[in-house]
């Protein structure tokens, strides 16, 4: 029987690598909820809502005009985000979005707007979803919950290399600072902060490679399937 897998954790701990690996291995759908918060942030920037400080009321009001979808892209071999029918997968990874997304993610109306869509996407199971509040809020009944963590310096280095390889160079210290700021905002916000729920399996991948982490996660999946 297909199960539902929730993956939460700090930024740049390899949640999406893990989620993609599992989805491919199990033939499940992968839903990247961080991409959806990034999509709302890009929308807010484009609407000019970040001129001085974020116009929260304006953003909430404009949500009804915003449509987010994932579609499979042959060239990239994965599903990518569309904002009102425009492919924005690359733009949502830029630092102009990364620097502002945590603030957007504190807005309860934005969270409600996205959580509702995320729950609808997962209702038939066979899904791997990653984010910050998946095991706690979006899918509290998920069959397997994984909480990912890693040493902050290793995370910064990985993120730095990832941005370089995508042709979006940033200094290591800027990456470090952005991660620190996001950790603080993600864990301290009032609505749906990042928490390690009691029934989550903790995966610290500071010292293990993607193959080893996949093996470990698959052993947890098999355990659940065996019950």
> What is the nearest approach in angstroms of ligand DC to the Cβ of residue 58?
20
> What is the nearest approach in angstroms of ligand DC to the Cβ of residue 194?
7
User: By C-beta, is 89 or 186 nearer to ligand DC?
Assistant: 186
Round to whole Å and give the CA distance between 225 and 222: 5
Please name every residue paired with 198 in a beta bridge, in sequence order, or none if there are none.
Answer: none
- Residue with the two structure tokens 């995508």: 166
> What is the nearest approach in angstroms of ligand DC to the Cβ of residue 131?
2
> What is the nearest approach in angstroms of ligand DC to the Cβ of residue 106?
8
Q: Which residues bind ligand DC (CB under 6 A)?
A: 11, 33-34, 37-38, 101-102, 105, 131-133, 182, 186
DSSP classification of residue 88: -
> What is the nearest approach in angstroms of ligand DC to the Cβ of residue 108?
11
> What is the nearest approach in angstroms of ligand DC to the Cβ of residue 225?
26
Please list, in sequence order, all residues whose beta carbon lies within 8 angstroms of the beta carbon of residue 177, skipping any fewer than 6 positions away: none
Look at residues 10, 13, 11 and name the one whose alpha carbon lies nearest to residue 210: 13
Question: What DSSP assignment string belongs to 138-158?
Answer: I-TT-SEEEEEE--HHHHHHH
User: By C-beta, is 38 or 145 nearer to ligand DC?
Assistant: 38
User: By C-beta, is 1 or 120 nearer to ligand DC?
Assistant: 120
* Residue 144 contacts residue 199 (beta carbons within 8 Å): no
Please name every residue paired with 4 in a beta bridge, in sequence order, or none if there are none.
Answer: 127
* Residue 40 contacts residue 29 (beta carbons within 8 Å): no
User: By C-beta, is 20 or 131 nearer to ligand DC?
Assistant: 131
User: By C-beta, is 153 or 225 nearer to ligand DC?
Assistant: 153
Round to whole Å and give the CA distance between 22 and 13: 15
User: By C-beta, is 36 or 214 nearer to ligand DC?
Assistant: 36
Instruction: State the helix-helix crossing angle for 33-46 and 108-121, rounded to 10 degrees.
Output: 140
């Amino acid at each position: 029987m297909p199960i539902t897998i929730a993956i939460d954790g700090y930024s740049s701990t390899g949640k999406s690598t893990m989620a993609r690996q599992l989805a491919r291995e199990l033939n499940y759908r992968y839903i990247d909820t961080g991409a959806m918060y990034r999509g709302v942030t890009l929308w807010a920037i484009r609407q000019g809502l970040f001129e001085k400080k974020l116009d929260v009321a304006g953003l909430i009001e404009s949500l009804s005009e915003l449509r987010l979808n994932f579609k499979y892209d042959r060239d990239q071999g994965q599903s990518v985000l569309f904002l009102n029918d425009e492919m924005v997968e690359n733009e949502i990874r830029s630092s102009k979005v990364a620097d502002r997304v945590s603030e957007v993610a504190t807005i309860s109306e934005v969270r409600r707007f996205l959580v509702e869509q995320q729950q609808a996407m997962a209702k038939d199971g066979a899904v791997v979803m990653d984010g910050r509040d998946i095991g706690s809020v979006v899918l509290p009944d998920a069959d397997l919950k994984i909480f990912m963590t890693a040493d902050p310096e290793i995370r910064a280095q990985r993120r730095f290399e990832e941005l370089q390889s995508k042709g979006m160079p940033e200094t290591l210290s800027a990456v470090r600072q952005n991660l620190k700021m996001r950790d603080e905002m993600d864990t301290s916000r009032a609505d749906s902060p990042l928490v390690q729920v009691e029934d989550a399996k903790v995966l610290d991948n500071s010292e293990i490679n993607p193959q080893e982490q996949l093996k470990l996660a698959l052993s947890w999946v098999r355990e659940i399937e065996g019950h």
